[in-house]
Each structure stands twice: as structure tokens, then as C-alpha cells.
Structure 1
Amino acid sequence: MEVNRAEKYNVKICRKEITAAAAEAEAKSLKERFLSLSNIDLLIPHVNVGVFFCYRKPSPLLSPVNNFSSMVAKLKSSLANALAVFYPFAGEVVLNAAGEPELLCNNRGVEFIEAYADVGLDQLDFYDADGTVVRKLVPKKKKADGGVLTLQATEMKCGGMILGCSFDHRISDAYTFNMFVIAWAEMAVDAKELSIGPIFDRSLLSPRQANEVVSFEQDLKLDQLYAHVSSYSPQPPLSPSVIQNPDQLTISRIYYIEAKEINRLQSIASSNRLRRRTKLESFTAYLWKLIARVGKSGQVCRMGVVVDGRRRLGSSKMNAYFGNVISVSHSLLGVEEVEGMGIEELADVVHQLVVEVDREEHFRGLVDWVEERRPEVCMSKIYIEEGLSVLVSSGRRFPIADVDFGWGKTMLGSYYFPWEGKGGYVMPMPMSGDKGKDGDWLVYVYLLAEIIEVLETIGADVFRPITSNYLFSSQK
């Protein structure tokens, strides 16, 4: 494997300030107000999601914004306009009388950090995401601080820039944050009209009346997927200093998967049927096979998938809805069961997981289920239960090619989410950007070290560590 030249590098924080919504917009529409969290928001644990975008040094011939100071100035001015529209990101999370979180939209603003890294983009080891990204390129947002969003623009030694973001998952899912970033970029380019604006109407996810609810069977299914947090003993993740077995460390890595390998997995998963399994279902089935390789006899292996419910909820407004509209479906199989099944059989199981929750009735029932249990804190079992488990969340809609603030397309973009849950987390994303590698995937993983080893040995033909050679090679 290629070794990147910069194993260690330093980042200097040069400036911190607060960027709030533009003053003229604030006077018109940003009077202090509360925005309640939906019942689906209340299922999301208090975790921060990281994401970063990498840009090459702009060409003076192609863009008037071609140095770090002008890039930051453009980011801040357009951010102020974007926050006037997506004003919850400039607010803060507070607790109401019932002890539940809600959003105070007071335009307290977003912390914007400027930094300098003594390394070039082509020297960064993105494969080792923990060593390269965390607390260096993606800012650490303090949980004790009620702010929703923290940003960091880092000037690279080569003249490029990395924009890192950290946001409170209780306020936004990936779909909503992608919507915000696209709007921010659109406002930076000639202040053109937004392709989509947010909708904050919480009535779209209101509980149903009692006589509308078909609850018993639905409740049983939801009880299998979600649970009261109070029924579990909290055990924070162990630090590396107290873990005796290094295989029990959970670490972050970033890989790429070539389009031909994705297509091959889909072909295998669809070999015995007329209707093809999706690429994500096929990938998840293959991943399940690999994960089971680290299990022991008699142990169970849990696989989960995140499903976005926007298209199923019967309103065109859901396409622009601000907040979380996701559910987690998961299933348990014995290690021996998984090892004895082919990828096509496991793809059938994954497909059924998706089908069971990708329905309006599931999401309406989930809203009702939470309403009956409030203010008790509930979460997905895959987040709070111990065991060999992994959650796959699709970042296939990650709009990397559209996050252009006026100085060129993103060279590389990825989520970074060491999520603090009891199981692992995997997020495939498109690998497009400015390199023309359409069809390839970028895959962020947060997994046990022993699973990582299996990915890089048995799964080495599929999971390839992201390297400078791949990122900076000529276009396909």
C-alpha cells in the first residue's frame, strides 16, 4: 500500500469568530423563536456529525477568488445569507420543562475557525481518518455548548483549502445538511436563486389521532427496533489506554471501491432473480459476510440500514423538510448462519429490512410510538446494545460535485462520524468531485480493528485504502 509522505503534521488555529445571519435578513425574519424537535428527531442521540470538503489551489486565471483570504471572505459573506434561510443552524439547543431538547432560534451564530496546516493536500493520509481528520480538519464541537454548527476553513501549505463542518445530529440528518451546503454554495456564486429552500413545518410529522392508529402489530415491530435508553446501563467507549486487546479498538478508515467491483457485487447478489438488488443492498450483504468472519461460534451478528422516509410520507413538502426523517431497520443472524449463506441470500435479507421500513405506515407508526413514550428517551437498539453489529447509512446523495463556492469543484468530500454507538458505522458516498471517477464509491468506516483487518485482507479487492496516487492520478 502506498504510504503518504506526511504521517504527522501541525494545524495552527489563526482566528475564531462568530458568523450570524445577515443583519438585514435578521430584522425581517429572524426574531427569536422556538422550534420544536419532531418525534423522529427525539430518537437521535446527542452526537455530532463531521464532514469535510477539499479544494485545490484556485487558478488566478479561472477565478477572482484565488487565495485563502478571499476564499474565507466569500465563505463568511455567503454563510451569513445562508443562515438567514437555514436559521436553525444559527440557534442553540436548550431543554424544555419536560427535559426534552428543543431549538431556540436566536441567531447566536456559528463558530467559524480559520486555521493553517503545514502540509499539502497531496501529502495527507485520508485513509487514516483518525490521524488526519479528527481535531485537525474537522472541528471538535463541544456537547456542553448548545450551538448547532461549527465550521473550520484550513489553509493548506499548497494553497488549497479544506472546509470542515461539525453539526448536531438531533437537528439535522445528512439530507438536510446536504441541502444547506448546496444552498450555501449557490449563494456564494453570483447570489443565484436557491434550487430548494427549507420547510420547517413540524405538522408534517405530527402524531395521528388515536382512532387513526393501527398500533399493536406495528408497536411490536418497533419494539424490536427501538428501546428506552433507561433500560440499558450506560457504558462509555473505552479509551485506548485501558483496552488490553487492540482488536477491540474502534477506528475510522476511508476507502474507495471501484465501479467494476460494485457492479460485480450487484451481479452476484442478483444472480438468481429477475429483479436486480440495489448496489447498496448488494454491498451491505457482502459487508455482512466479512463482519461475520470475526465472530465466534454461537455469537450473533447484527446488520442495520438507515432508510430515509421523505419520499414515502405523501407530501411534496417533505423534499425540503428540515430535520431528521430517518429510521433504522436491523436484523440478527447467527455467525454460522451468515457464513452459510451466499451474498444473494443475504441481499434478500437486506432487501427485506429496507422494505419493512420504507413505507409511510412505518414512519407514521414511529411518530406515534415515540409520542406514547415521551418524555422517556428512546433510541435505536443498534446504537445502545452491545455485540457484533454494524449500521450502514447511504451517503449516495452526498452532493460533492455541487459544493462549488466559485473556485472549483471539490477534490474530495467525505463524512467523518465516529458515532460513539456500541456498534460500527459505514457510509458509502459517490467518488466524483473534480477527478471524473464517476461510478466509484468513497466509503467511510468506523469499525473494530479486527473487522478492519478482514476488510483489508479477505475484502482487499473491494476495499482499497484511499491514497494520494488515486486522488491525484489523471482522470479515468
Structure 2
Amino acid sequence: MAPTSRVDAGAGSSELTVVVLSRRLVRASDPSIQPQQRVVTFSNLDLYPDNVQASMVCLYPKLPKKGDFEAIVATFEAGLPSLLNKFYPLTGRIVINASSGLPELHCENQGAELVVGEVNVALGSLDYAIAEESLKKMMLPYHEGVTLSVQLLSFACGGFSVVWGTNNLVCDGPASGMFLSMWSELARTGRMPDTLSVNHDRSVFRPRDPPAYSAGLDGTFATYDDRRMVNALTADASFVERIYYIEASDIAKLRDKASTSKQRASRVQAVSAYLWKALAAVVAASSRVPEERCCMGWMVDARRRVKAPALVPAMRNYFGNVTAYALADAAVDDILRKPLAEVAARVRDTITAIDYDTYLQELVDWVEEHKPEHVMEKGVLGLGSPTVNQTVFASFPFDTDFGFGEATLALPMCEYEALLRVPLGWSAARRRRLVASQRIHMAAARGGARL
């Protein structure tokens, strides 16, 4: 048995202790399935999100019957090897190339990590208002080179959690959703579609020679150094990550207010418009530094938005990163004055107006000229006008039912500060609620105000 990992859950919470019962490697079961290259070069779209671990945390409050946790562990032990045959990057290791300073993926079927543990408290005893006091306590650390760490924890109440720990270099949200959905189908039915081919060809995103990009894209991104960021010394104390439960009826009301007789607003557009107006109100009320403008940014899955004949088929079941950043800038007074429907229309127009083929190529070229530096959107870094950034799961819904019912909560967690994540992609049966995880900047400073 591995050493006990004791974590203080904080004031007002039950003391949470995780006992790791086992930790082992699971390899792809078919040795004949090998990548064309043992050392895979990450695309520039992979390098852009940076080398950051990210997890999907899924909570299942109640087992069908007592003692089924052993059956859950057995399900993972039996099914993961077959699943990894289609997702060989998740059995590899991330290694920093000594010459270039860039990360690369070594694929030799080293194995994904499977961790089994137990927790001495009930799921319901945790403080879910604060992620640090609940979900993040369930996320066990894993080596920075590991590309997949599956963590199964049983709780005293009979419920359990599944944490899917990956790395942003390997896949984005849509790719993770595809992986989870394929796992659920395999675990429930014992098979995956024979015709389903996962695309791992990262060479589809190649830089041009010479690289070329517009001034607009160049102005959107910046290189950065963690040690030289404005709030590097106070970041941990300045941010709090909260989780909100919002009734589906409230989202429906927002949609009604954000819609017109000619255009029905989507849930994403309605929520975005509400957040943008809320940000504008916060900025207008701030007395520290007057700001005349505020921005809203969206992390957009570009797979379904490309149009180039060569890219469209390549994006089907593409496992990697294809995230675009859409940014809208407006006067604070303008956002406050306009009705919700007009702000929602601006959200829609901003996201749909982008030529995603051109955008992706320019981003690939821009990263080519700026690696191995860290790069990120200026709005995410807190540079320029106050900005609220949103990643939306509506575009890549996923299946969490692997034979023991759907997860009550499935939420992405990572260490990017100042990101607002709004998981809207529930299936029809799960649209009873919306759970938002929000980092709130508690001291509004120039270019750093966060809702």
C-alpha cells in the first residue's frame, strides 16, 4: 500500500484523507498497433496551450449497490487496455528536448496510470462552493511526464469519483470529451465502432515558410514568463475558484431575454451576454482605475468551423488541440446600455465572423516565430482592458455513463488562473443544471479586473 496522503480540507470542512490502495501502469493491449513515429512532435497548436496538467473530475454520489466499487475498478482494469489501442499518445511520456527546449511525446507504450484509493469522508460533507475545498482535494498529483492518470476514489458514503488527469499538450476539451465518450461506450457495450478511426496526425498544422500572420492576431497574443507577470507574487492570494449551481429554468429565462423574434439565442450566447454585462457593471463601479472599455473572450473549438477541403476530413475525431480564441471589445457604457439581446447578438457575430482556416494557419505561424517562449492570449494574462474569458462545453458534449449511471457532476479543472469555465454541454437529461467554475480576481487592477 502506498503511503497515506493526508490533506487538511480547511475550516468548516471535514478532514479529508486519501489512502492510495494501488498505483499501477496500464498499457495498450495490442502491441502491433504502433505509431508511425516513436517520438511525436507536438503541433504549434499543441504548444500554444502550454505544458499544463488538466483534469476532468466526475462525481458519482451513489453506487447501484454496496460493494460495487470493486466492480468499477475491475471495469477499468479490463477496458482501459483496449481503449488505449486507439489513444496511444495517452500511454506515452512528455519529454523536454535538450537541444530545442521544446516538449515532445515519446510513444513506446510506457503505460497510463491507474490509481485506486479510498477517502474517509462522504462526498456530501465537502464544501463545493470552493473548488480548493472539494474537487481539487480529489485530484492526486502525478508525474509531469505522464499523459494519462486515471484516479478512482471511493468515499465513505458509498459514492465515488473518477479523475481523468491529462496534459494540455496532448489534447483539448473536445478531444477529452471524445475519449471519455468512447470509454463509456466500450465499458457499457464491450465494443467500440470498428469504423471509428481516431486521427493522431499532428502534421496537418504546419507552419509556412516564411511564417506570416496579421497585425490583429499578433496583437491578440503575448509571450510571458511566470516570474515576470504583474501578479506573480500575489496570484494565489488574489484568486478564488468558486462553483455555482444554476437551475435550468434560470438559463431558459436568460435565453428568452437574449432572444428576438427573428433570432433565438443559444444558451452560450445568453450566458455570455449576461457575464459581459456583469463585467461591465463591475468595471463601471470600480473607483480604483477608471476603464472605458471591457472585453469578452471565448475559447472556441475550431474543428467544426474549418472549411478547407483538406482540413474538414482531418478534423473528424482529431485527437489534439484545435482551439481558437475569439475576442470582443466594447465600451463599458455600450454594454451596460444595450439590452441583453443586442449583447447576445454581438457574442454570436464575434464567434461566427472569424475565418477559422486563416486564423489557425496564422496562429501556427505566430507560435513558430515565438517558440520556445510561453505564449498566451493577452486577455487571459490580464493585459489591456478588463476581460472575462469563457470556455464552453456546449460544443463538445460527452458521455460519463460507463455502466454505473451518469456522473452528477463532471467539471474540467486546471491551474490556469483567471479563466471562467462554463460547462454547458450536458446531455438533454442533464440540462437541469449549469455548474460554473469561476476564478474571481478580488482586487480589481488595471487590466486585471475579473468577474
TM-score (norm 1): 0.79
Kept in 2, the 8 Å contact 1:57–1:67? The answer is no
Alignment of 1:345-424 (within 5 A): 345-357=342-354, 359-386=356-383, 388-397=386-395, 399=397, 402-420=399-417, 423-424=418-419
Query: Are residue 95 (structure 1) and residue 96 (structure 2) matched?
Result: yes
Q: 1:193-215 CA distances to partner (integer Å, 9 max, x unpaired)?
A: 248442111232223466xx9x5
Q: Indicate the residue corresponding to 2:220 in structure 1.
A: 225
Native 8 Å contact 2:202 2:320 kept in 1? no
Q: Residues 50-129 of structure 1 correspond to what in structure 2 (within 5 A)?
A: 50-60=55-65, 67-96=68-97, 97-129=99-131
Change (3 A) 1:236 1:186: farther
SS in 2 for 1:29: coil
In the alignment, which residue of structure 2 is the partner of 1:172? 171
Q: How far, CA to CA, are the matches of 1:167 and 1:236 in structure 2? A: 27
1:265 aligns with 2:265: no
Q: Does 1:45 align with 2:50?
A: yes
Q: Given residue 220 of structure 1, which amino acid in structure 2 is its aligned partner?
A: A
Letter in 2 for 1:263: A
Structure 1, unaligned runs of 5 or more: 1-5, 244-248, 452-458, 460-476
Match of 1:427 in 2: 422
Distance in 2 between the 1:280 and 1:409 partners? 23
Partners of 2:119 and 2:156 within 8 A in 1: yes
Partner Cα distance (1:201, 1:240) in 2: 37
Aligned to 1:14: 20
Report matched runs for 1:246-261 at 5 Å: 249-261=238-250
Tell me the number of residue pairs that the alignment of Structure 1 and Structure 2 aligns.
Answer: 423
Is the contact between residue 50 and residue 416 of structure 1 (CA under 8 Å) also seen in structure 2?
Answer: yes
Distance 1:55-1:183 versus aligned 2 partners, 3 A rule:
same
Note if contact 1:149-1:165 (Cα within 8 Å) is conserved in structure 2: yes
Q: CA deviation at 1:50?
A: 2.2
**Is the 8 Å Cα contact of residues 9 and 117 (structure 1) preserved in structure 2?**
no
Q: Deviation string for 1:277-312 (max 9, x for gaps)?
A: 332122111101112333226224332111111113
Asked if the contact 1:431/1:442 (under 8 Å) is kept, the reply is: no
- Residue 276 of structure 1 aligns to a residue whose secondary structure is coil
Tell me the distance in 1 between the aligned counterparts of 2:257 and 2:355.
24
Aligned to 2:9: none
| Gap change, CA 1:45 and 1:341, over 3 Å in 2 | farther
How far did residue 222 of structure 1 move? 0.5
Q: Report what 1:471 is aligned to.
A: none
Instruction: Provide closer, same or farther for how the CA distance between residues 57 and 359 of structure 1 changes in structure 2, counting only shifts above 3 A.
Output: same
Q: Which amino acid letter does the alignment assign opposite residue 91 of structure 1?
A: G
The code of the aligned residue for 1:184 comes to W
Partner SS, residue 315 of structure 2: helix
Q: CA deviation at 1:372?
A: 4.1
- Percent sequence identity is 28
Is the CA contact 1:252–1:418 (under 8 Å) kept in the aligned structure 2?
no
Which of the numbers 294, 300, 305 marks the counterpart of 1:301? 294
- Specify the code of the residue in structure 1 equivalent to 2:215: L
Distance in 1, matches of 2:270 and 2:255, equals: 5
Residues 1:342 and 2:339 aligned together: yes
When residues 40 and 79 of structure 1 are mapped into structure 2, their CA distance, relative to the original with a 3 A threshold, is same
The one-letter code sitting in structure 1 at the alignment partner of 2:366 is: W
Quick one: distance in 1 between partners of 2:122 and 2:74? Answer: 22
- Relative to structure 1, is the Cα distance of residues 257 and 199 closer, same or farther in structure 2, using a 3 angstrom cutoff? same
Cα 1:7–1:87, aligned 2, differ >3 Å: closer, same or farther?
A: same
**C-alpha separation in 2, matches of 1:365 and 1:240:** 31
Native 8 Å contact 1:30 1:84 kept in 2: no
Task: Name 1:202's counterpart in structure 2.
Answer: 202
CA distance in 1, matches of 2:90, 2:26: 10
- Which moved further from structure 2: 284-293 or 225-234? 225-234
Q: Which moved more, 1:81-90 or 1:331-340?
A: 331-340
Superimposed CA distance per residue, residues 234-270 of structure 1 (whole angstroms, 9 cap, x where no aligned partner)? 35644588x5xxxxx3112222333332232223223
Which of 322, 325, 330 aligns to 1:328? It is 325
Counterpart in the other structure of 2:316: 319
Residue 426 of structure 1 aligns to a residue whose secondary structure is strand
Structure 1 letter corresponding to 2:39: F
Partner deviation per Cα, 1:155-194 (whole Å, 9 max, x = no partner)? 0112221101222112110111111112222232342124
Flag the 1:76–1:304 CA change in 2: closer, same or farther, 3 A.
same
Change (3 A) 1:381 1:431: same
Aligned-residue offset at 1:126: 2.4
* CA–CA distance in structure 2, aligned partners of residues 18 and 234 of structure 1: 38
What SS does the corresponding residue of 1:338 show, helix, strand or coil?
A: helix
Question: Given the superposition, is the C-alpha separation of residues 19 and 185 from structure 1 closer, same or farther in structure 2, using an over 3 Å criterion?
Answer: farther
Give the match for residue 284 of structure 1. 272
Q: 1:95 to 1:231 in 2, by over 3 A?
A: closer
**Are the equivalent residues in 2 in contact too, given 1:59–1:66 (CA < 8 A)?**
no
Instruction: State the Cα deviation string for residues 404-425 of structure 1 (Å, max 9, x = none).
Output: 22222222222223413xx332
Q: Structure 2 counterpart of 1:221, which letter?
A: G
Over 3 Å counting, the alpha-carbon distance change for 1:28 and 1:304 in structure 2 is: closer
